[in-house]
Amino acid sequence: MHRAAQYVRMSTDYQQYSIENQAVVGAPHEQQSRLLRLRRVATVLVRLVVYIESAFVSVPGLVSAVRNGDAAQIMARTDLPRVRHSLVDQLMNAYPERLGAEAPATTNRKKWRSTRSAQRSRMTL
């Protein structure tokens, strides 16, 4: 048992605030707190196992769809908005490097695009 701290208060009223009495009164709360922490840890572990197991279940299906050339299954098993977002981020970082410029410090794509298009239009003039 690890105790971080225990409140000590001097009393003359039959020593109801003595360290021993406080330990007796605080024991049920300590046990309840320990069970609550254990329940939280168990919940996190169960969710983690389910998350990892879902990958082991879904990856073979995706591999099978790719090997069979089943485009509908590939599309059904792919998070297209997330893939698109990832590709846009990669292109936004690679494009300035190709031009010899620095990547934008902002994550505001519209602002960066308008800045880049204005720069390109100035270059073509």
Residue type at 97 in one-letter notation: E
Owning domain of residue 107: 80-125
d(CA 37, CA 21): 25
- What the block records as the tokens of 25 is 């009164």
pLDDT, tens digit, 9 for 90 and up, residues 21-39: 777 777 788 888 889 999 9
Does residue 110 have a pLDDT over 60? no
Average pLDDT, the chain: 77
Q: Are residues 59 and 109 in the same domain?
A: no
Helices 80-99 and 109-124, axial angle in degrees (round to 10): 40
* 7-25 tens-digit pLDDT: 555 555 566 666 677 777 7
Structure tokens at 79: 């998070």
- The answer to whether residues 73 and 105 belong to one domain is no
Predicted local confidence at residue 30, as pLDDT:
83
Number of domains in the chain: 2
